[in-house]
Chain A
Amino acid sequence: MSLGSVPLKYKISIDRDQCMKCMRCVDNCSYGVYRIENDKILIDSRRCTACHRCISMCPRDAISLQEKPVDYRSHPLWTAQAREDIINQARTGKIILAGMGNAMDYPVIFDRLVLDACQVTNPSIDPLREPMELRTYLGKKPARLQFTRDDKGDIELKTELAPNLKLETPIMIGHMSYGAISLNAQLSMAKAVARTGTFMGTGEGGMHESLYPYQNNMIVQVASGRFGVDINYLERGAAIEIKIGQGAKPGIGGHLPGEKVCTDVSCTRMIPLGSDAISPAPHHDIYSIEDLAQLVRSLKEATEWKKPIFVKIAAVHNVAAIAAGIARSSADAVVIDGFRGGTGAAPKVFRDNVGIPIEAAVAAVDQKLNDQGVRNEISVIASGGIRNSADLAKSIALGADAVYIGTASLIALGCRVCGNCYRGLCPWGIATQRPDLVNRIDTDVGAEHVANLIHAWTLELSELMGAAGINSIESLRGNRDRLRGYMLDEGMLNVLKVDPVGA
């Protein structure tokens, strides 16, 4: 018995009058949509992922793409997606894999929050004319200052500051490992963060030699697979991040298929060529909070207490209490990854159903740490679905010190969020290790685009702060007074500690 084929997802057509048969579409499509027969470009729409590579490279705008060209009988519950997933699983008996972030139609809380501006009673501040301070320090802060007085009665500072990361703007690029993404994608971002005075994560894939020149702007990651971790790696990082979980797939580990483990990836990750790189779900030396505290201390000892240690957790229901536990360790920052966080590959059921949104998570964490009187002693980094400078400003007003962006920085490199990262065929040269595809990224141009994005958001954040009469990022942090909820229910307003519009 055959289940037959499911309908096409996308239909590609070429305007033959416009087409000049330059063959750019044929060359650019790594999924094999186009082929030439008898001097004619033929199309296999079934292979299309809507990555837009052909469309963006067509000099005549001759290609058009239609989503869902075949209708199902409409049904509110049995959506096309639900039916196709079942057909797929009936055929394979397997877990469905997916890339990028949560694709379910949950309401976006960011879009139900509005920012404030000054009128009359306080002047707005023009960032073109007045200083606007976005500099952010991430790391442990003292609870209070302590002084001694010298013989002359002058004040001597007794408090010693722990090492902090200095960011010129509160935007960092999150951890996307070498293996999951290409070296050229990493290099582009590394050059961009070095240029904009901020940081990026290496992900759990070690640090490739060619990134060494940018190591002062890189945060190295220690995840459950410990891939690429040795003392050389730890010492190169500006900070170290222990990854407990990831917003796209809380509670489970990672899997880099052997096909993506080429020579360079195998050397950097310190694993055999072509072998699957499987990160276990838990760290096998962390079975409780005290084990985490011990790992934090071990990493600190190994690097002589010179580097801040971050701990990244997925935003799960109990995120606030977990963050409070982390705050009690020697960790310098806690990273909260919301359920919209991107990924190279995750089981679809996790990506779409597990975890909570970053807006609620960061508000809850900030509140819990504040209630316990330790909020300023540890930094909070928000990540998972931050799309623009407004999301950035709102995250900070809800209590984050800084944010990690991931998908946004990939889009700056060409990514069109087609969600097929796990297939290793990314035509933009991002989520692939195929040399011909990787070479499509010119790292200098890529760096410029990513740096432009960070710069543009920084400018917009300055303008938003100036309009709100704030000239220092500290005064936006946790300042829920400058947010209002629009059409959010009372329960959610209470979690966010935000008043409704008009109040």
Chain B
Amino acid sequence: MCGIIGVIDRTKARMDGSSIKRALSLMNERGSGEGAGYVAYGIYPDYPDCYAIHVFFDNLIEPKSKVDEVLQKWGRIVHQEEIPTYEQPGLKKEHVPWRYFYKPYTDFIVGSNNPAEDIVKHLVMAVNSTIPGALIFSSGINLGVFKAAGWPEDVADFYRIEDYKGYIWLAHNRYPTNTPGWWGGAHPFNLLDWAVVHNGEITSYGTNKRYVESNGYKCTMSTDTEVVAYLFDLLGRRHGLPSEMVVEALAPHFWDEIDRMPEKEQKLQRTLRLTYGPALMNGPFAIVVATSKGIVGFTDRIKLRPLVVGENGSRLYISSEEAAIRVMDPEVNTIYMPRAGEPVVGRVVQ
């Protein structure tokens, strides 16, 4: 059990973090005070072409000097600072959250269609698997994850998320069973432009993990949600599938349904399932994934976790609870529950 909520303003009008903090706190029944987090897109307009790399350091001596070294080897640190935090009585500061604004040298690797992203992905995997005391938990452009072990309101106040303005927000209230109290285990999970919040347990984790590992990712966070971000990165970015199709690969139609489809659709769905069988996600889950271009929410194929959608003008909300949407936006005029496996997409209008 966990609580999730996501919002997008399709016109890219920016919202500060105060209302999503209220919505997430409303779902404290779904958490246990051992993990909460937020991600917001559009918060770093001053660094529009830099990767914002958020790191948890255990101290600023050995781990930081190693991270500095590897980052400087692969690119230029445009700016770096400690992420401002404010002491909270209910939250113990376990790590120093740090951020780098970073430009990789794109001529350093060959054979890549997108060298900058591949370098950043490589750095995330390398730092997280080889530098003890450092964990990169956010690595996209003009976006940032803010998370810690604690109740949603404490985490929000710790980072003062009302000081950040984004056009997409995802948030997560955690009831951990696997890695309680570990900051790295809190959601959202992020890699490059992808961020994920997830309520559930992926029973196919072993299969999914092997598949992403076979494609060069390393799972380092001991939790199943991480693999969702990597699957979206692999299928969405590297294989170039549109996000609806990524969802159809991860939560595909049942064979019974596919067998009844018109021939062309049937062929597409069959090819999709055969090609991406190891990416199929099983077990109970509700997930919201974001990129700078939009958000997509979906559940497992038999909807063993709740997901509710709300709309008001340019704003689209996806949440575990209707009440959370209503506290965020009392004016919300459409509320509905998507079917199992059906993707709910909110795209930025250009």
Which residues 248-280 in B have Cβ within 8 Å of A in the complex?
A: 254-256, 267-268, 270-278, 280
Q: When the two chains form their complex, are residues B278 and A478 in contact, meaning their CB atoms are under 8 A apart?
A: yes
Q: Which residues of A contact B272 (CB under 8 A)?
A: 145
The 7 closest A-B pairs by CB, nearest first: A481-B206, A475-B204, A479-B206, A475-B282, A474-B277, A469-B203, A122-B201
Interface string of A128-149 (1 = CB under 8 A from B): 0011010101000111110100
Task: Please give 16 more A-B residue pairs, beta carbons under 8 A apart, in addition to A157-B271, A159-B275, A476-B207.
Answer: A123-B284, A130-B302, A131-B302, A141-B277, A142-B271, A144-B275, A145-B239, A145-B245, A145-B271, A157-B267, A470-B203, A471-B302, A474-B204, A474-B278, A477-B207, A481-B209
Asked if A145 contacts B275 (CB within 8 A), the reply is yes
Given the complex of chains A and B, what is the CA–CA distance between A123 and B210 in angstroms? 23
* Residue A392 at the chain B interface, CB threshold 8 Å: no
Task: Tell me the complex Cα distance, A91–B211, Å.
Answer: 57
Among the listed A130, A164, A480, which residue makes an inter-chain contact with B206, where contact means beta carbons less than 8 Å apart? A480
* Inter-subunit contact B275/A125 (CB<8 Å): no
| Closest A residue to B213 using CB positions | A370
Q: Do A122 and B280 have beta carbons less than 8 Å apart?
A: no
**Given known contacts A122-B283, A125-B302, is B207 in contact with A131 (CB within 8 Å)?**
no
A455-478 interface with B by 8 A CB criterion: 468-472, 474-478
Known contacts A142-B275, A472-B282; A478 and B210 CB within 8 A of each other: yes
Write the nearest CB–CB distance from A377 to chain B, whole angstroms: 9
Q: Which of B242, B271, B284 contacts A155 (CB 8 A)?
A: B242
Closest to B214 in A: A370
How distant is A124 from chain B, measured CB to nearest CB, in Å? 10
B267 and A121 form a contact (CB under 8 A): no
- Contacting A472 at CB < 8 Å: which of B210, B242, B280, B304? B280
Please pick, from A141, A144, A375, the residue contacting B214 in the complex, using a CB distance under 8 A.
A375
Within 8 A of A (CB), among B272-312: 272-278, 280-284, 301-302, 304
Are A475 and B274 in contact, with the CB atoms below 8 A?
no
B210 & A475 in contact (Cβ 8 Å cutoff): no
Q: If the complex has contacts A135-B255, A479-B206, are A145 and B280 also in contact, measured as CB distance less than 8 A?
A: no
A157–B274 CB distance below 8 A? no
Given contacts A145-B241, A155-B242, A475-B280, contact A133 B203 (CB under 8 A): no
Cβ–Cβ contact A141 & B255, under 8 A: no
User: B205 near A: Cβ within 8 Å?
Assistant: yes
Q: Does B177 contact A (CB under 8 A)?
A: yes
1/0 per residue B311-328: CB within 8 Å of A?
000000000000000000
- Residues from chain A with a CB closer than 8 A to the CB of B270 are 161
* Whole-angstrom distance between the Cβ of A165 and the nearest chain B Cβ: 12
In the complex, whether B200 has a CB less than 8 A from a CB of chain A is yes
Are the CB atoms of A164 and B274 closer together than 8 Å?
yes
Instruction: Confirm or deny: B215 has a beta carbon within 8 angstroms of a beta carbon on chain A.
Output: yes
Can you name the residue of chain A whose Cβ is closest to the Cβ of B269? A157
Chain A residues within an 8 Å CB radius of B280: 472, 474-475
Give the shortest distance, in Å, between A197 (CB) and chain B (any CB).
Answer: 12
Indicate whether B132 reaches chain A with its CB closer than 8 angstroms.
no
Contact among A121, A144, A376, A469 for B282, CB-based, below 8 A: A469
Residue of A121, A133, A164, A477 touching B201 (CB-CB under 8 A): A121
When the two chains form their complex, are residues B284 and A479 in contact, meaning their CB atoms are under 8 A apart?
no
Interchain residue pairs with CB less than 8 A apart (7): A133-B254, A142-B274, A157-B267, A375-B214, A471-B301, A475-B203, A482-B206
Quick check: B282 and A133 within 8 Å, CB to CB?
A: no
Residues from chain B with a CB closer than 8 A to the CB of A478 are 206-207, 210, 278
Q: How extensive is the interface on chain B, given as a class? A: 35 or more
* Interfacial residues, chain A to chain B (CB-CB below 8 A): 118, 121-123, 125, 130-131, 133, 135, 137, 141-145, 147, 155, 157, 159, 161, 164, 370-373, 375-376, 397, 468-472, 474-482
Known: A375-B278, A470-B204. Is A122-B210 also a contact (CB below 8 A)? no
Please state if B302 and A161 are interface contacts (CB–CB under 8 Å): no
Query: Measured between alpha carbons, how far is A133 from B206 in the docked complex, in Å?
Result: 18
Check B274–A141 contact: CB distance below 8 A.
yes
Point out the residues of chain B lying under 8 angstroms from A123, CB to CB.
Answer: 284, 304
Known A145-B239, A161-B274, A475-B204; judge A370-B210 contact (CB<8 A). Answer: yes
| Residues from chain B with Cβ under 8 Å of A480 in the complex | 206, 210
Task: With both chains docked as a complex, state the minimum distance between the C-beta of A9 and any C-beta of chain B, in angstroms.
Answer: 46
Residues of A close to B84: CB separation below 8 A: none
CB within 8 Å of A: which B164-221 residues: 177, 200-201, 203-207, 209-211, 213-216
Within 8 Å by CB of A144, from B203, B204, B239, B281, lies B239
Which residues of chain B come closer than 8 Å to A375, judged between CB atoms?
Answer: 210-211, 214, 278
The smallest C-beta distance from B188 to any residue of chain A, in angstroms, reads 20
Q: Is B240 an interface residue (CB 8 A)?
A: yes
Determine the distance from Cα of A8 to Cα of B301 in the docked complex, in whole angstroms. Answer: 61
- Cβ contacts under 8 Å, B275 to chain A: 141-145, 159, 376
Let me know if A469 and B302 touch, CB within 8 A: no
Contact A371 B206 (CB under 8 A): no
Residues of A within 8 Å of B304, CB to CB, are 122-123
User: Complex formed: what's the CA distance from A375 to B277 in Å?
Assistant: 11
Q: Given A145-B275, A370-B214, A475–B207 Cβ distance below 8 Å?
A: yes
A-chain residues with CB within 8 Å of residue B241 when the two chains form the complex: 145, 147
Question: For residue A482, which residues in chain B have a CB less than 8 angstroms away from its CB?
Answer: 203, 206
Report the nearest B residue to A476, measured CB to CB: B207
**Which chain A residue shows the least CB distance to B271?**
A161
Residue of B nearest to A159 (CB): B271
CA distance A155 to B248 in the complex (A): 14
